């Protein structure tokens, strides 16, 4: 019977609803500052989220005719500008944590469970979110911050999860991934991990076949009950997701 020893958290859409009101807005601010006509509305950005990585999304938009062709160096400059805009949005309190995130993090930390981050977002964007939305003490509470281009292949490849587990010295059988998207789920699955999905407006209708729990959010005791979209392990009392639910998932066959 496997015991839960490690939680690996995705960031964008999982820790916080960063995509629609964070990254998308910051991209548009960077485009405007650069004198470009391109703007990504909510529907367009939802399409672009099929591609992981901000620089990769810009290249994809260029290749499909949405943006004028620019060099890889220019893409990198725009992405750096976008990251600065995003950090300011976080510092201004525009991107709060999703319901239940801090509660689950604290419960896991208090229980001695190893915590880590496995994300495609840039290290500077991750640092800003931790600093302003969680608190600086969490830099020490996360045992690994695996982010950005630290691995050659981004999600849905398994690389970022394999890297994090190697850094932590943990095995897939004792590690649970927390994700929000199909690409994230496929990445966790490829790394041999069990996975809980907390969907958002962009990912709700994606295919999460085989995931271990799919919910609308982690929720809290003082909020309305969460919506449970898939519960293959027949977990009980899912008004909100508790650490005991995550432990039960690890122990399930």
Topology annotation, domain 6-17+97-251:
Rossmann fold (3.40.50)
Exposure class string for 151-180: b at 16+ Cβ within 10 A, else e:
beebbbbbbbbbbbbeebebebebbbbbbb
Selecting among 12, 61, 180, 212, the annotated active-site residue is 12
Question: Higher pLDDT residue, 121 or 48?
Answer: 48
Helix/strand/coil for 183: helix
Query: Distance between CA atoms of 179 and 183, rounded to whole angstroms?
Result: 9
Q: Round to whole Å and give the CA distance between 91 and 200.
A: 22
- Residue 55 is predicted with a pLDDT of 94
For residue range 180-235, list pLDDT tens digits in order. Answer: 999 999 999 999 999 999 999 899 999 999 999 999 999 999 999 999 999 999 99
Give Dmax (Cα) for the chain.
58
The pLDDT tens digits of the residues spanning 123-170 come to: 988 999 999 999 999 999 999 999 988 999 999 999 999 999 999 999
Give me 194's structure tokens.
């069990």
Local structure of residue 229 (DSSP, 8 states): E
CATH superfamily, with its number, for domain 19-91: Putative phosphatase; domain 2 (1.10.150.240)
12 classed as catalytic: yes
pLDDT at 94: 85
Exactly one of 10, 61, 180, 212 is catalytic; which is it? 10
Query: Do the first three CATH levels of 6-17+97-251 and 19-91 match, i.e. the same topology?
Result: no
For residues 168 and 188, is the Cβ–Cβ distance under 8 A?
Answer: no
**What residue ranges do the domains of the chain occupy?**
6-17+97-251, 19-91
């Amino acid at each position: 019977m496997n015991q839960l020893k490690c939680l690996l958290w995705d960031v964008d859409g999982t820790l916080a609803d960063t995509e629609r009101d964070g990254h998308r807005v910051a991209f548009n601010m960077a485009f405007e500052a650069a004198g470009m006509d391109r703007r990504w509305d909510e529907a367009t950005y939802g399409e672009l989220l099929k591609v992981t990585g901000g620089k990769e999304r810009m290249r994809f938009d260029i290749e499909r005719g949405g943006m004028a062709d620019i060099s890889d160096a220019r893409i990198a400059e725009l992405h750096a500008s976008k990251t600065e805009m995003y950090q300011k949005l976080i510092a201004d309190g525009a991107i709060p944590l999703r319901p239940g995130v801090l509660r689950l993090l604290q419960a896991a930390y208090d229980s001695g469970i190893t915590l880590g981050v496995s994300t495609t977002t840039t290290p500077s964007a991750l640092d800003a979110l931790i600093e302003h939305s969680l608190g600086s003490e969490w830099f020490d509470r996360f045992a690994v911050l695996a982010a950005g281009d630290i691995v050659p292949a981004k999600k849905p490849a398994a690389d970022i999860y394999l890297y994090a587990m190697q850094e932590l010295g943990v095995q897939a059988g004792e590690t649970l991934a927390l994700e929000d998207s199909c690409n994230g789920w496929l990445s966790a699955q490829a790394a041999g991990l069990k996975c809980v999905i907390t969907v958002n407006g962009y990912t709700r209708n994606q295919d999460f076949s085989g995931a271990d729990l799919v919910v609308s959010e982690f929720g809290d005791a003082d909020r309305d009950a969460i919506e449970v979209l898939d519960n293959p392990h027949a977990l009980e009392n899912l008004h909100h997701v508790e650490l005991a639910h995550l432990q039960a998932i690890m122990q399930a066959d």
